[in-house]
């Protein structure tokens, strides 16, 4: 059964990952972020294995068996269907961002409107957005599914977690699938709020000093959220018994934490 909710950071079986991707596909479709057969979702299963949605299927109506496993060269390893036509974009993001374990691509209408207008979401209009997303740039147009598209995106992937793709849509990514999906939701929310301020004819921007403080808070918040999420499934019951809390992390979880902290630290300097 497709789950109603999915969790952060838990160690999951391949079957659970498949169900989670189907849940995210349904959420994208239900929210109107992925009409018809639009959108694609993937997650990193291991060093050389990506689980990705198939091409040309409604992402709201997938079953776990529809998903395809590809390697880091984009070759199909298992699955009966053909992998998403956008697999090169997913592979680019995994290659450039070792901290990223999941990618969502969709066409949410308001954010896609900004992408079609070539307008980035980069004005500091809400404190939560500065903390949650930073700025969202526009990547120049490139034909979907070609190296033209990956070339325009490559310079932006390192410094952002959400990118508007000109005349196309949005791509978001994060340390797990829930983060990648929530960043899609936040990007669309950001676009709606920005549009309302433009309709009202007035935007009061946060000051440079306020933004700096929020960037510092963003780095602390991200590191804290990440360690809490990674630690949750492996935390022992020691804290309940009064002994100091011991947290166990796998090597991969530790590396992800360190990468994320270093990256956040660089982005606020
Ligand atoms: P796929 O069905 O091939 O993943 O393509 C959907 C899409 O949104 C292309 O931009």
Mean per-residue pLDDT over the chain, rounded = 88
Check pLDDT > 70 for residue 28.
Answer: yes
User: Active site residue: 65, 86, 185, 260, which one?
Assistant: 86
Tokens of 83: 């992998």
Residue 9 CA to ligand 1 centre (angstroms): 26
User: Pocket of ligand 1, candidates 29, 32, 40, 171: which has the most ligand atoms within 8 Å of its Cβ, to mutate?
Assistant: 40
Which pLDDT score is estimated for 156? 98
Write the residue with the smallest CA distance to atom 2 of ligand 1: 55
For the domain with range 11-200, which CATH number is right: 3.90.1150.10, 3.40.225.10, 3.40.50.1000, 3.90.180.10?
A: 3.40.225.10
Which pLDDT score is estimated for 266? 56
Q: What is the pLDDT of residues 198-257, one digit of tens each?
A: 999 999 999 999 999 998 887 777 666 655 555 443 333 333 333 344 555 555 555 556
Which pLDDT score is estimated for 9? 76
pLDDT category, 143, cuts 50, 70, 90?
very high
Share of the chain above pLDDT 70, in %: 82
Lowest average pLDDT, out of 78-82, 156-160, 228-232, goes to 228-232
Residue 171 CA to ligand 1 centre (angstroms): 12
Q: How far apart are the first and last CA of the chain?
A: 45
Mean pLDDT of 27-48: 97
Distance CA 26, CA 9 (A): 20
All CATH 3.40.225.10 domain ranges in the chain, comma separated: 11-200
Ranges of H-type helices in the chain: 14-30, 87-96, 109-117, 127-132, 147-157, 177-200, 208-231, 251-268
> Can you tell me whether residue 218 is helix, strand or coil?
helix
Which pLDDT score is estimated for 112? 98
Count other Cβ atoms within 10 Å, centred on residue 252. Answer: 15
Mean pLDDT of 113-142: 96
Which pLDDT score is estimated for 186? 97
Q: Is 86 a catalytic residue?
A: yes
Which pLDDT score is estimated for 223? 65
Between strands 138-139 and 162-165, the pairing is: parallel
Write the residue with the smallest CA distance to atom 4 of ligand 1: 84
Count other Cβ atoms within 10 Å, centred on residue 223. Answer: 16
pLDDT category, 65, cuts 50, 70, 90?
very high
Distance CA 204, CA 143 (A): 36
Ligand 1: residues with CB < 6 A are 37-40, 53, 55-56, 84-86, 144
Question: How far is the CA of 245 from the CAs of 62, 114, 265, in angstroms?
Answer: 41, 46, 26
Count other Cβ atoms within 10 Å, centred on residue 46. Answer: 11
Which pLDDT score is estimated for 243? 39
Residue 12 CA to ligand 1 centre (angstroms): 26
Distance CA 265, CA 171 (A): 23
Closest ligand 1 atom to residue 53 Cα is 4
Lowest average pLDDT, out of 174-178, 187-191, 216-220, goes to 216-220
Check pLDDT > 70 for residue 93.
Answer: yes
Which pLDDT score is estimated for 203? 95
Which pLDDT score is estimated for 12? 95
């Amino acid at each position: 059964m497709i789950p109603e909710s999915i969790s952060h950071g838990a160690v999951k079986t391949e079957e659970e990952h498949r169900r989670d991707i189907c849940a995210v596909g349904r959420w994208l479709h239900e929210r109107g972020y992925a009409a018809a057969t639009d959108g694609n979702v993937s997650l990193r299963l291991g060093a050389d294995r990506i689980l990705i949605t198939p091409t040309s299927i409604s992402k709201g109506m997938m079953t776990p068996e529809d998903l395809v496993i590809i390697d880091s060269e984009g070759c199909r390893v298992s699955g009966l269907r053909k992998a998403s036509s956008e697999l090169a974009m997913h592979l680019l993001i995994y290659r450039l961002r070792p901290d990223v374990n999941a990618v969502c691509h969709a066409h949410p209408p308001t954010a896609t409107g900004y992408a079609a207008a070539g307008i980035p979401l980069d004005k500091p209009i809400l404190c939560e957005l500065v903390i949650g997303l930073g700025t969202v740039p526009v990547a120049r147009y490139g034909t979907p599914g070609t190296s033209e598209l990956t070339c325009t995106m490559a310079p932006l992937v390192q410094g952002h977690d959400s990118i508007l793709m000109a005349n196309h849509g949005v791509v978001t990514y994060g340390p797990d699938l829930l983060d990648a999906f929530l960043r899609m939701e936040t990007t669309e929310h950001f676009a709606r709020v920005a549009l309302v301020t433009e309709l009202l004819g007035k935007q009061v921007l946060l000051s440079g000093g306020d933004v700096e403080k929020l960037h510092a808070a963003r780095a602390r918040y991200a590191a804290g959220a990440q360690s809490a999420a990674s630690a949750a499934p492996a935390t022992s019951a020691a804290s309940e018994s009064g002994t100091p809390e011991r947290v166990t992390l796998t090597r991969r979880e530790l590396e992800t934490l360190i990468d994320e902290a270093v990256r956040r630290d660089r982005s606020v300097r």
